[in-house]
Amino acid sequence: MSWDRSDRYESENDLDEKVLKSLKPHPNLTSLTISGFKGFRFPEWMNHSVLRNVVSITIKGCTNCSCLPPFGELSCLESLELWNGCVEYVDVDVDSGRFPSLRKLVIRDFSNLKGLLKKEGEKQFPVLEKMTIHRCPVFVIPTLPSLKHYLTDPSSLRSISNLSALTSLNIGQDDEATSLPEEMFKSLANLKYLRISFFQNLKELPTSLACLNALES
C-alpha cells in the first residue's frame, strides 16, 4: 500500500487514516508494505490478529506516526524494515511480545529513535541475526545476544559492547567523522569480518582493534 503524492494538504492526512482503515487485509497475508502514509495513527487492524501470519513488514515514510503498532506480538514476523519515521522506540508496549521470530531488522532515518523497546527485557529479540541501523543519531544499542551481523554508521555505535556475539560489522558512509570510539572493539571477541568504508576524513583507527583475535578479514 503506497501513497505517492508529495503535494498533499495536511487536511488530507485524515483521509489517509480512513483509507488505510478500510483496507483491512485477509488474515492469510504474509507480507505487508506501507509507504508514504501521512496519517497520525495506524488503524486498529494493525494491532489485531489479522497480521498473525505476517512474515515480513516494511513501513516507509510514515512521518506523522509517533507510535508503531505492537509488532512484537507477531509470532511469525521474521523481517521488519522501518524507513524515515519519527518514533522513539520500535515497541513501547511493555506487555506486548518480544519479537520471538524476528531475524532481520532494518531501521533508517529515524532521528528520534532512542532504542528498540521502551522497556528492555531478557527475552527480547531472541533470534535476531541481522540488523541495520542508519542515520539514527540518538539510538542506543540494547543487549542482543543472538545478533551476528550489524551494518551501521558511526552515530549508531553507542553501547556496541552489548553485541558480544557479533561476527560481522560493517561501518560506513560518514564524511565528517575523524575517529571512531576508542573502546568499541574490546568486547567483540567473536568478530570475524570488519569493514570500514567511505570515511573521507578518518585519521586513525581505535587501538582496541588489536583485541580482535578472531578477525579474519
Buried b / exposed e along 152-176 (16+ C-beta atoms within 10 A): bbbbbbbebbbbeebbbbebeebee
Q: Is residue 152 part of a domain?
A: no
Query: Can you tell me the distance from the alpha carbon of 5 to that of 24, in angstroms, rounded to the nearest whole number?
Result: 22
Residue 205 lies in a domain: yes
Residues of the domain holding 58: 10-147
- Do residues 126 and 44 both lie within one domain? yes
Domain contains 1: no
Residues 131 and 97 in one domain: yes
Same domain as 114, residue 16: yes
Please tell me whether residues 187 and 137 are part of one structural domain: no
Partners of 134 in the beta sheet? Answer: 108
Mention every residue, 6+ apart, whose C-beta is less than 8 A from residue 110.
82, 84, 85, 86, 87, 135, 136, 139
Q: Establish if 37 belongs to a structural domain.
A: yes
Same domain, 126 and 36: yes
- Could you tell me which residues are beta bridge partners of residue 57? 32, 80
Phi, psi of 151 (to 5 degrees): -115, 125
Number of other residues whose CB lies within 10 A of the CB of residue 133: 21
Q: Does residue 190 lie within any of the structural domains?
A: yes
| pTM given for the model | 0.89
In a domain, 27, yes or no: yes
The total number of structural domains in the chain stands at 2
Per-residue pLDDT of the chain (217 residues; tens, 9 = 90+): 676 655 555 555 577 777 887 778 888 899 999 898 888 888 888 877 789 999 999 999 988 988 899 899 899 999 999 999 999 999 877 555 589 999 999 999 999 999 998 887 667 899 999 999 999 999 999 989 999 999 998 888 878 888 999 999 999 877 777 888 888 888 899 999 999 888 888 888 888 888 899 999 8
Question: Does residue 4 lie in a domain region?
Answer: no
Determine the residue type at 153.
D
- Same domain, residue pair 143 and 171: no
One domain for residues 19 and 103: yes
**Cα–Cα distance, 85 to 136 (Å, whole number):** 10
